[in-house]
Structure 1
Amino acid sequence: MKLYQFLTLFFLTIGIYAQMPEKISYQAIVRNTNGEILGNSTIGIKISILQQTTNGQEVYQESHLPLTNENGLMTLQIGTGTVLKGTFTDIDWSNGPFFLETQMDLNGGVNYSITGLTELLSVPYALYAKTAGSITMGNEYLKKSQIISFETDRDINESDILNTLECINSATLRITSNFDLMKVGDYINLEAHNGAVLNIQALEGVQLNYQLNGNATFISNKGNVRFGLLRKLAANSYIVSGQ
């Protein structure tokens, strides 16, 4: 007997104000050993989520009894089945990798004889964001991955760290001296949009690309975006790539 997965996993689109969904959509087409579609059939399926390795800890397990449609399509929501082990909402998606194990009984029972094992190559980002938002860096600020737009000259500030600065009109981003809120290894993603020119200027006493009071420029073309990265090397020393 065979299980053909034509759409392994996909994740629900989250509106910025929407409540975080505690589930993952899963679909598969089920066929028998002769390659025949099992349409309009009740399938017993057990879902396990394994952590770190294919033989790793079962952090969660649940069962379902989905009904395939006439084309053999089985659809279910992981996180909404009959819980056999663990708590889905307690999974720490930031501590991967994770593997999805599926066991099936094509007669709709619990005599699971088919096993599939698939690595979750794409972290369930909507769920991961819930845990990533609580990670602190040196207990001083949150890792947010936000997009911050600006169009006038300004200094870098704490809210820029680990986020993306989106320059939508020609402007200068100034790096001030003794900016201790940004730790060595921290970064800021840089974008110049649609013809904007983004200039990065190191102020007095600050090195940029190993030059004291150095500068870097991102020039974007109409209809395009220019990308770069600002990373802190040491106290009052930064490097910019991509310009």
Structure 2
Amino acid sequence: MSTKCLVSCFFFFQSLLILGQTPEKISYQATIVNADNTLLSKTRIAMKIAILQNSLSGTSVYEEVHSPVTSSNGTVSLEIGGGSPIRGSFSEIVWSKGPYFIETSVDINGGSSYKLQGASQLLSVPYALHAKTAERIADDGNYVLKAKPISFTTSRNANTEDVGNIIECTADATLTIINNFVDMKIGDVINIEAHNGAKLIVETADQVELNYAKNGNAIFESTLENVRFGLLRKIDVNAYIISGQ
């Protein structure tokens, strides 16, 4: 019996959560359906997850297998980084050397005759993982931290130190992007994280655009033992794009 896997919308928009207690895992959810679009429910299947570097046909830097049981609505939930590794080490992936793509293969009979279901780009790099591997990145022979976590518990304006680093919000607070924030150049980024039930609001001044709306805002609201994350990127003098909220 042939099958197909509805992966991309569930993975990229619902399930990119770095677990607070086990930060080297990414939650992943997919819905498995048969070729006739009926749900494959309450069935033990086998899934192989591969992380490809640079392109859809790029080098596989990590592979693991899982044997989840689909729910009554055909859903499977698993943690990438928590399966049985068959290639590479998840903790050794250097996320700064992307882009990376997630490739999914499935055997609905629970064996090892995997059928490729597709691959999609990991659009939002897991920045908590990036920070963890950053200490291994060499610069002129010296190991340096490329993305420094900055504690954020009190509302304030964005400043020079934030650029290129990680806003690590552990209590409800607001980060404001002021008019003509010249310390952040076009193309520069700020990584955003809200931890363990904290809510981080990113807002802009009256004359500053966020996602093409003046005086816009974005909300990153985490749940207990989870992290919400995103990326703030400057695209013009007073214009920013934010993803992940």
| TM-score where L is the length of structure 2 | 0.58
- Higher relative CO (Cα under 8 Å, sequence separation at least 6) belongs to 2
Displacement of 1:65 in angstroms is: 0.4
* 2:74 matched residue in structure 1: 72
CA contact (8 A) 2:131 2:146 kept: no
Q: Does 1:33 align with 2:38?
A: no
Task: Output one character per residue of 1:141-171: Cα deviation in whole Å (capped at 9) or x when no partner.
Answer: 86436469769xxxx9x8576569x689xxx
Distance 2:74 2:46 in 1: 14
> In the aligned structure 2, how far is the partner of 1:36 from the partner of 1:44?
18
Task: Say which structure is richer in helix.
Answer: 2
Instruction: For residue 124 of structure 1, report the CA deviation from its aligned partner.
Output: 1.6
Counterpart position of 1:62: 64
Mark the structure with the bigger radius of gyration.
Answer: 1
Q: Which whole-Å CA distance do the structure 1 matches of 2:238 and 2:162 have between them? A: 18
Q: Runs ≥4 in structure 1, deviation > 6 angstroms? A: 136-141, 148-151, 184-189, 191-195
Alpha carbons of 1:114 and 1:19: their partners in 2 closer, same or farther (altered >3 Å)? closer
Distance 1:110 1:143, change over 3 A: closer
Specify the alignment match of 1:7 in structure 2: 10
1:144 equivalent in alignment to 2:148: yes
Spell out the pairing of 1:80-99 with structure 2 (5 A cutoff). 80-99=82-101
Which amino acid is 1:8 matched to?
F
1:171-199 deviation line (CA, Å, top 9, x unaligned)? xxxxxxxxxxx9x999798x99889xxxx
8 Å contact from structure 1 (residues 50, 60) kept in 2: yes
Cα offset, 1:114, TM superposition: 3.5
* Residues 1-243 of structure 1: pairs in structure 2 closer than 5 A: 1-5=3-7, 6-9=9-12, 10-12=15-17, 21-132=23-134, 143-144=147-148, 146=150, 159=161, 162=164, 241-242=237-238
CA distance in 1, matches of 2:187, 2:114: 48
CA distance in 1, matches of 2:116, 2:188: 46
| Structure 2 unaligned residues grouped into runs of 5+ | 168-174, 178-182, 191-201, 209-214, 218-235, 240-245
Q: 1:102 to 1:137 in 2, by over 3 A?
A: same
CA contact (8 A) 1:43 1:66 kept: yes
Aligned to 1:237: none
For these two proteins, the number of residue pairs brought into alignment is 184
Matched letter for residue 60 of structure 1: Y
What is the distance in 1 between the residues matched to 2:133 and 2:60?
19
User: Which stretch has the larger CA shift, 120-129 or 91-100?
Assistant: 120-129
User: TM-score when scaled to structure 1?
Assistant: 0.58
RMSD: 4.4
- Structure 1 equivalent of residue 193 of structure 2: none
Gaps of 5+ in 1: 169-181, 196-217, 219-223, 227-239
- Deviation, 1:32, is 1.1
Q: Aligned in 2, Cα 1:106/1:128: closer, same or farther, shift over 3 Å?
A: same
Q: Percent identity?
A: 38
